[in-house]
Chains A and B, each alone.
Chain A
């Protein structure tokens, strides 16, 4: 599963009837095949065209509905390549006919775009940070800091539901508004702490009541230690109010799309 899996220009990748080429991403043509295991546990190949190469594996077209295993394989392959050099992730689920289609339809048309992206992504990796409030703590903060919330809470606690309906709706509305205001302040504080140590960031949308922030962060090799230390410090500073999870390094999924 090492070295030997490199496909040369003249030895075409075998794609039989009922099979296709699953495309994971694009790397420089001189990237070495890291020997990751792809979808269906298939061997991963590089199909080269000029200065770029596509990471592909042969998959059956007739297949059970894709779910967790496929998603995991997709990210596993990309993360493995990302550890060794720049990689442009392709959106999950892309299958093309064969190696010729990979070269002509995927690589040739966008060769210049891939070359530029790969140059930008040289020596950088993505981290993803999730920050979640401790719900009880943050709700208690709101009650403490906002007399109207505290008053409505007093008025509605233990009162019959029908009688206090309007107050309950108002209470919930206030809590959700104040929570969002607080969240924006806290999110900004997280960004302020991490921004000096990253090349770029994207804020991902979130929805849950305990959502503080979800960030995709592009970190240069030279920044990594300082970045991880800053994240540690942030987690320590916030630990009474929020829980921080840092995932990565991973392929730069959030930094190649057309947003």
Chain B
């Protein structure tokens, strides 16, 4: 997952060229004019399963993860460590690892390109994936 990043000197704005799978999927999946009414042959073997995360967010399990992430913060009033140190600490591993571990399950980038069957010769193959993914999006929006 190489991301080329060009940046103005001293700038805080990252300017990556999207080349990671997650970036490219985010950019183009389900986007654009749909012409599948005219499709004679679908792109063989592509089935994109989007494990979408917001469904998980309202679960008890996720609340526990949020709680854990919050509890792992070692704020200044407790250990005498100031916020900047805490952040540095978190960034350098230790708690960070645990924090991102806790949060991993709710990452929006958890998308997999899964190989499906092949040789389906109508436009139907892509539809289920598309539908279910937009349904997930609706669920997560509510």
Contact = CB atoms under 8 A, between A and B. Distances in A.
Interface of A: 20, 22-23, 25-26, 61-68, 70-72, 74-75, 88-97, 101, 105-106, 109-110, 128, 134-137, 139-140, 142-144, 149, 152-153, 156-157, 168-173, 175-176, 179, 204-211, 214, 231-232, 234-236, 238-239, 243-247, 250, 253-254, 256-258
A93 B43 contact: yes
Contacts of B35: 23, 90-91, 94, 96, 105-106
Contact of A97 (B19, B40, B99, B107): B40
Interface residues on B, range: 35 or more
Nearest to A244: B13
25 contacts: A23-B35, A62-B44, A65-B44, A68-B24, A75-B24, A88-B33, A90-B34, A91-B33, A92-B43, A96-B39, A110-B33, A135-B90, A137-B87, A139-B69, A169-B60, A173-B66, A175-B67, A175-B69, A204-B26, A207-B107, A214-B26, A232-B13, A236-B13, A239-B12, A254-B31
Contacts of B18: 75, 247, 250
Contacts of A96: 35, 38-41
Contacts of A135: 69, 90, 99-100, 103
Given A143-B73, A207-B107, A71 B24 contact: yes
A167 to B, nearest CB: 8
A70 B44 CA distance: 11
Contacts of B43: 22, 66, 70, 92-95
A244 B32 contact: no
Interface of A is mostly: mixed
Contact of B33 (A210, A254, A256): A256
Nearest to B51: A207
Contact of B19 (A72, A157, A232): A72
A257 B83 contact: no
Interface in B1-56: 8, 11-19, 21, 23-36, 38-46, 52-54
A207 B33 contact: no
Contact of B31 (A22, A91, A232): A91
Given A143-B73, A156-B67, A92 B32 contact: yes
Contacts of A128: 26-27
B64 A168 contact: yes
Contact of B41 (A72, A97, A171, A231): A97
Contacts of B27: 75, 128, 247, 250, 253
Nearest to B125: A93
A90 B70 contact: no
A65 to B, nearest CB: 3
B28 A74 contact: yes
A17 B99 CA distance: 54
A80 B82 CA distance: 49
Contact of B21 (A62, A68, A142): A68
The listed residue with most A CB atoms (<10 A of its CB), out of B11, B69, B71, is B71
Given A157-B71, A235-B13, A244-B12, A93 B126 contact: yes
The listed residue with most B CB atoms (<10 A of its CB), out of A61, A142, A171, A172, is A172
B44 A61 contact: yes
